[in-house]
Structure 1
């Protein structure tokens, strides 16, 4: 039986072409990517040990071994962070007893004050489950008419996979869906992630379930939105992890002059006030 850690390493090995690392291609092969022997040699470990990790028979590789594998695979910073996370949860898999539970939705007063300082910019506080916990009036303006904030307790992941309007709002819906499903790895707790997964799986269908447990780190490029008013937006995202509560502050910035012009127009429309959702 495999593990998230072993699956990730094997998937990265299969998707890495030898020539990108300065290695010979070995000609035609039945399996794609790097040979186990090549990766083991680059990481300074035995092929037998790498096989045990990939197959889930060794669940507790040391930190130096994990770092050596990251170097050998030339992982980028986001992939290295995910590799460390998978190492952590793989080592404790056998002792985790899940009791599904929703995540807390309270936001610290200092975080709400930070949002006020960002007005009238586009900013939102979420957790990795996609719960929208607080947002600026700028965020409300950009998402107005999309249905995202209509629910009493808005959740971006639920919206992406169950609301037909999401496919029109997100120009690159599949990429956004990949991001939301991947972020369930980083939910506030295992229990919270299991709770949302159990809720969504029956109603969201294979578009959701096929993405569960993916070990491919999404690139999170420019976010392209189709505003219901007929205007297109291209936004950069700055994501800042908050000190407590497994929450993040996301600030959206125009990626081009046309988007900046559209955002300025939206700011001039009545948009309510800063909202904290409890």
Structure 2
């Protein structure tokens, strides 16, 4: 990240945040000590972040700072982009689908089905899945579950959000780099609505069950595919 963009952004937001009503002040916004107290970190650590001598804060620290600075959704996304721009640790792309897996998916038409990576990326899907999934231009089931439009799409959103977070946690705990990177992203861009569910995940996600997508009540089955990518095939059947 050129010229300590993260530190400058944090300082600018601190100075633009209304301070406690304690009389006349010589500096605008929050003092470092006040922000550190709100975020639950030390003044020394906040100073290192603002000066750029520490450029690798954890997602938990950044989320706490975003909460303490009452950042908007757009500001949280910008914060994540600043961190992303300062690292070369990007998850490798998932391995391509084997032709036989794609052929198996093709035979499932007109059922709703998709091949997913451990992190929830939709690697391939049937036309029916694309029609009813609500994803549009979003290609990750977990990220989609924490967008504003997901609450309208999933009548049982709270349970779906819990399940998606548990799925991501299970993959991250098994060392999937893309899942860990997505968890870091959502901890910043979504905040407590994601992190509370992610941190509380205490069981493996169900491999079969029911979900409601809009007006559709669906039964799903999960088939885990052989191969290095640890892909899974999700098949959704309409329940009448």
The TM tier, using the shorter chain, reads: 0.5 to 0.7
Kindly provide the CA deviation profile for residues 102-146 of structure 1, in whole angstroms up to 9, marking residues without a partner as x.
253322211111111111211111123111110001111223xx3
Given the alignment of the two structures, is residue 149 of structure 1 paired with residue 118 of structure 2, yes or no? no
8 A Cα contact 1:224 1:234, kept in partner? yes
8 A Cα contact 2:118 2:176, kept in partner? no
Q: Matched residues in 1 for 2:178 and 2:216: separation? A: 32
Q: Matched residues in 2 for 1:197 and 1:103: separation? A: 16
Q: Matched residues in 2 for 1:217 and 1:194: separation? A: 16
8 A Cα contact 1:102 1:192, kept in partner? yes
8 A Cα contact 1:100 1:192, kept in partner? no
Deviation for aligned residue 1:166: 0.4
Moved segments of 4+, more than 2 Å: 99-106, 186-193, 216-221
Q: Matched residues in 2 for 1:120 and 1:221: separation? A: 20
Given the alignment of the two structures, is residue 216 of structure 1 paired with residue 206 of structure 2, yes or no? no
Structure 2 unaligned residues grouped into runs of 5+ = 1-87
Deviation for aligned residue 1:149: 3.0
Matched with 2:93 is 104
TM-score (structure 2 length as normaliser): 0.56
Matched with 1:178 is 162
Secondary structure (helix, strand or coil) at the match of 2:198 reads coil
Matched with 2:223 is 240
Deviation for aligned residue 1:182: 0.8
Given the alignment of the two structures, is residue 190 of structure 1 paired with residue 176 of structure 2, yes or no? yes
Secondary structure (helix, strand or coil) at the match of 1:174 reads helix
8 A Cα contact 1:175 1:218, kept in partner? no
Which one of the candidate residues 114, 126, 140 is aligned to 1:124?
A: 114
8 A Cα contact 1:129 1:180, kept in partner? no
8 A Cα contact 2:115 2:124, kept in partner? yes
Structure 1 unaligned residues grouped into runs of 5+ = 1-98, 227-231, 257-278
Q: Matched residues in 1 for 2:136 and 2:97: separation? A: 17
Matched with 1:138 is 128
Given the alignment of the two structures, is residue 251 of structure 1 paired with residue 235 of structure 2, yes or no? yes
TM-score (structure 1 length as normaliser): 0.49
8 A Cα contact 1:178 1:218, kept in partner? no
Q: Matched residues in 2 for 1:165 and 1:210: separation? A: 20
Q: Matched residues in 2 for 1:249 and 1:142: separation? A: 17
Tell me the C-alpha RMSD between the 2 structures: 2.0
Deviation for aligned residue 1:169: 0.6
Secondary structure (helix, strand or coil) at the match of 2:91 reads coil
8 A Cα contact 2:113 2:128, kept in partner? yes
8 A Cα contact 2:225 2:232, kept in partner? yes
